[in-house]
Every structure is written in C-alpha cells, then in structure tokens.
C-alpha cells in the first residue's frame, strides 16, 4: 500500500536524482572513509545508481550530444567582457542529460529529473568555456557536506530502515531539501522544450569594470512544453533521446541564454536560495542547435564539462556547491576513463 510516508520517501528519492529500481541500500548512513567529501559524493551517487557503470558518468549518465552555435546579444557586453559575449558567434557543443548515474534510466522516470544541459562554447583561441545547468531553479543542499548527508541518508533509507528513517530525520532539519523535493518536475515534451537554470551564481565583470552577480537561465524560444500525466505514463524509455534527432532533422532548435541579476540582498553563495522571479534578466544571446553530433558517444566519454572552466570577465562566486563541483566531476571523469 502507498502510505503518505512511503510516497514522501519516494518523492525524496525521485527528487535527488537517484534511481529506484537499481538503488543499493547501504547499511550505514554515515560515510566513514577519510576520502574528500567530493569523492565520497561520487561514491554514494555510484552506489545509489547500482554502479559502477563502466565508462559512464556517476551522475547524468544518460545523455545526447548536439552541435550548433551561439550568437551573442547586444546587451551581453553590458554584463561581461567575456569573449563569447561580445560580437562574434561561437560554435557550441551541447549535452542534454537525465539525472542519476543509471545509463539506461527511462527518460520519463521520476528519478531522471532534473534534466541537465551542458554547453561548451568553442572560443577563437582554441580554448573553451562551459555552462552546466539543470531543470530546477534551486538545489537541495547549500554545502557539499549537506548534499553528502542527504545522499547518504537516502542510501540508508531502504525498506528495512527503522522509523524515522535517516532520510526522514535529515529532512526534518533541512527545509531547503524539502523545498527542492516539492518543486514540480514535469516530464518535458522534448529536451528542446525545457527551461534550465544555472543554480549557482557567477561574478561578471564588464569592460568598464562594473561587477554584477548573476545566474544563468536557458529558455526555449518556442516556450516550455510538458507531457500530461497520462502521456508521461505511456512515454517510451528513450522518448527524449529518440525525439531530438527527428526534431533537428526538420529545423534547428533555439534557446535564449539570459542572466538573472542578483538583487542587493540576494544570497549569491547559496544554491538553495531562489531569487525573486522579478529580478532583471539580461539577454546574453541565442543558442541555435542544428545537428546531432555524429561522434557524440565518443565525445561524451572523452570529455568532462566543468562549470569552472571560465574566461576573463566571468568568475566563480564563493558558493561552496559550485566550488565543489569540479573536483567531484574530475573523480567521475577519471573513473570513466578507467584511471
């Protein structure tokens, strides 16, 4: 029987990107190893996904890679002197993905949320810069330690766990995680009809030296579109991965890239703090996605997107979640390459 409590636990598990059918429940909620927190995070993600799944990401394992270009808007230079935000177009490689480290997760599975987008801008000097975002406006934890606490609590909250379970205990003292769980996460019609949020703030500097903190937002030009509950229930396991090539064969897909400016009192170092919707957004440009990358499978294995791969005019904030990400991604990347 589906008791409210069971449903609650289920929704937690759904919300924090982990798999149900393949979840392996740990005996002990507390990580005891002396490893860095970032490595422990990857270990727990791997465990929750029933991994290791050789050659795949520890999170956002299932994805599809496309190619296109980014055209900066005239307003972009008012925010940043970054080279790709001036006048010239940049080629881009974009990877859309499902949450969890389960490479075969069905696209409409509740655990496959939030969806991800990773954008690599290829710059004139043969370097690149990345944006890595998700389809929720906000994150369940403000620090890597709290995120690890949440994931470990989920891993220890199997059917056999005594009540209150570790995840229930965690939630009772972490309102931000509860808020994240309650955010609606509907299944998109297509990766092309989903909005993505930067979640972490960055510090932007324009040519006049003006500094502003902002968060990225990536919005489909044709608007968001989601499946109904009935359509979601009937969706085929790879419906998103199958749909995108068909859509792109007909015509390109466009997204607006904007930056939501922080207000004077907005917390720029807390990924759980959602800023008021009325905050000004500056249009940075348009992403035009044209083709599926024919070498996408090879590319995604051989490359790691890095939210801190930045250029002059864009710097990291002090957000501890943002600062932890490259180390965690590097652990996953190293394991993917068998190192």
What is the pattern of x (binds ligand HEM, CB under 6 A) and - over residues 102-121?
--------------x-x---
User: Does residue number 275 form part of the binding site for ligand HEM (CB under 6 A)?
Assistant: no
User: Does residue number 42 form part of the binding site for ligand HEM (CB under 6 A)?
Assistant: yes
Per-position DSSP letters for 130-165, written without gaps between them: EEEEESSSS-S-SSHHHHHHHHHHHHT-STTPPSSP
Size of the site for ligand HEM (CB under 6 A): 31
Q: Which residues pair with 268 in a beta bridge?
A: none
Count H helices, E strands: the chain?
Answer: 9, 10
Nearest CB to ligand HEM, comparing residues 62 and 84: 62
C-alpha to C-alpha distance for 25 and 191, rounded to whole angstroms? 31
Chosen residue from 95, 120, 185, 217 binding ligand HEM by CB under 6 A: 95
40: left (phi over 0), alpha (psi -120 to 50) or beta: alpha
Subset of residues 70 to 89 that bind ligand HEM, contact rule: CB under 6 A: none
In the complex, minimum distance from the CB of residue 315 to ligand HEM, in angstroms, rounded to a whole number: 17
User: Does residue number 133 form part of the binding site for ligand HEM (CB under 6 A)?
Assistant: yes
CB 286 within 8 A of CB 71: yes
CB 58 within 8 A of CB 45: yes
**How does DSSP classify residue 168?**
H
What is the pattern of x (binds ligand HEM, CB under 6 A) and - over residues 144-183?
x--x------------------------------------
Give the interface with ligand HEM as residue ranges (CB under 6 A). 41-42, 57-60, 63, 95, 97, 116, 118, 132-134, 139, 144, 147, 198-200, 271, 304-305, 321, 324-325, 328-329, 332-333, 336
């Amino acid at each position: 029987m589906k008791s409210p409590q069971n449903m609650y636990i289920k929704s937690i598990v759904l919300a924090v990107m982990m798999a149900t059918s393949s979840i392996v429940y740990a005996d002990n909620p507390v990580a005891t190893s002396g490893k860095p927190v970032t490595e422990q995070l990857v270990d727990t993600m791997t465990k929750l996904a029933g991994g290791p799944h050789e050659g795949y990401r520890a999170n956002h394992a299932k994805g599809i890679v496309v190619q296109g270009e980014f055209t900066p808007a005239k307003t972009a230079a008012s925010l940043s002197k970054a080279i790709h935000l001036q006048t010239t177009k940049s080629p881009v490689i974009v990877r859309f993905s499902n949450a969890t480290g389960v490479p075969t997760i069905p696209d409409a599975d509740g655990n496959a949320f939030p969806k991800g987008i990773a954008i690599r801008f290829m710059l004139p000097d043969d370097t690149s810069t990345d944006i890595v975002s998700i389809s929720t406006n906000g994150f369940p934890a403000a620090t890597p330690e709290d995120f690890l606490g949440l994931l470990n609590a989920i891993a220890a909250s199997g059917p056999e766990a005594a009540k209150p379970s570790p995840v229930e205990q965690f939630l009772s003292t972490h309102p931000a995680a509860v808020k994240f769980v309650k955010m609606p996460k509907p299944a998109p019609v297509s990766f092309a009809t989903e909005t993505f949020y930067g979640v972490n703030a960055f510090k932007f500097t324009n040519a006049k030296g003006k500094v502003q903190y902002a968060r990225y937002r990536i919005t489909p030009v044709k608007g968001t579109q989601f499946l109904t509950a009935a359509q979601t229930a009937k969706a085929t396991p790879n419906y998103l991965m199958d749909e995108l090539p068909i859509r792109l064969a007909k015509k390109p897909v466009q997204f607006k890239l904007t930056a939501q400016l922080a207000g004077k009192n907005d917390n720029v170092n807390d990924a759980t703090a959602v800023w008021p919707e009325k905050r000004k957004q500056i249009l940075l440009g348009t992403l035009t996605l044209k083709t599926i990358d024919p070498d996408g499978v090879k590319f995604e294995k051989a490359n790691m997107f890095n939210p801190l791969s930045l250029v002059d005019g864009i710097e990291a904030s002090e957000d501890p979640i943002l600062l932890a990400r490259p180390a965690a991604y590097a652990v996953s990347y190293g394991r993917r390459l068998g190192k």
